[in-house]
Chains A and B, each alone.
Chain A
Amino acid sequence: MPKSNTELVLENLAGFDRLDYEFVANGYAEDAVLHFMQEEPIHGRAEILAFFERQFAPINTTRIEIVNAIESGDLVMVERIDHYEWKGIPVSCPVANATEVKDGKITAWREYYDKRFAADQVIAQSKAKAEGSV
């Protein structure tokens, strides 16, 4: 039985838990578009893989907690909390993605999150570490 679009997207997200960015990128179509909404969109699977490897290099561990996943035709919308360690500092950040899937491959991924939320945690914990309270 073929996998549902939701199952494909959740499996793709599980690749981040293993820090397996090649697996994640392979889930995208050759000409897919990845758009972190506050950045310029990234076009093409090879560019997407390069972005993951560059952007997530400081991340040691990741655990993606799925809050809601809803599917409507080609569209899968997921609300999640990303827990990760950024240079050893634990961060939890609410994130949402709207993902289009065609013929078993991701063709578009739009990611929404509050970067400030993650940055505040990194700054607060770095400060606490520097002051010796953690």
Chain B
Amino acid sequence: MTHGADDETPTLDALAVHELFSGWDKEVPSVEEMRRWFADDLVFEDPLQRTEGISEYREMNERLLRKNQDLVIQMEESAQNGPHIMFTFSLELAPSKRRPNLRIYNSGMTYVRLNNEGKIEYHRDVWDLNTMFLSAAPARVRNAYRRFVKRFG
């Protein structure tokens, strides 16, 4: 994490963004803590939803953590060009308390853009919803899906 002229206003870089998100699979920071790194008018988009503002964004992350067991998110490769940062991630979770052996896996790419203050003002995730649910399906369903995709995909 680098600091501007005023040490109270640190700016993020790719490594710091890695660091920032690691640990969110165990605990999501409070809105006050998040204000240090995220712009108040933060926009988030992924294949399921769009949120506006820090509170909605925090609530979405908190929901992901609360509704799923053993959530593990791993940040992988990253690259940065000025205010544009991208990184890939993998995700593993158990969607049901009653069936802890049922695991879902997915991987995706995140794009974040920093504003003039070095805070994240935009966060977009690209990942495949079907893959996530198929990863928990029996092998015969996964194979049938792959055959379908090969033929019609």
A interface residue numbers (CB < 8 A to B)? 37-40, 54-55, 67-72, 75-77, 79, 94-96, 98, 110, 112-117
Contact = CB atoms under 8 A, between A and B. Distances in A.
Contacts of B9: none
Contact of A55 (B109, B131, B153): B153
A65 B87 CA distance: 20
Contact of B109 (A76, A112, A115): A112
Chain B interface residue bracket vs A = 20 to 34
Interface string B100-117: 000000011101000000
Given A70-B84, A72-B79, A112 B128 contact: yes
A114 B129 contact: yes
Contacts of A94: 126
25 contacts: A37-B107, A37-B128, A37-B131, A38-B130, A38-B134, A39-B149, A40-B146, A68-B81, A69-B81, A70-B86, A72-B79, A72-B80, A76-B79, A77-B79, A77-B86, A79-B109, A112-B127, A112-B128, A113-B126, A113-B128, A114-B126, A114-B128, A114-B129, A116-B47, A117-B47
Given A39-B149, A68-B111, A75-B77, A116 B14 contact: no
A46 B134 CA distance: 29
B69 interface: no
Contact of B88 (A110, A113, A114): A110
B78 interface: yes
Contact of A79 (B126, B129, B146): B126
B47 A79 contact: no
Given A68-B84, A96-B111, A112-B108, A38 B128 contact: yes
Given A38-B131, A114-B47, A70 B126 contact: no
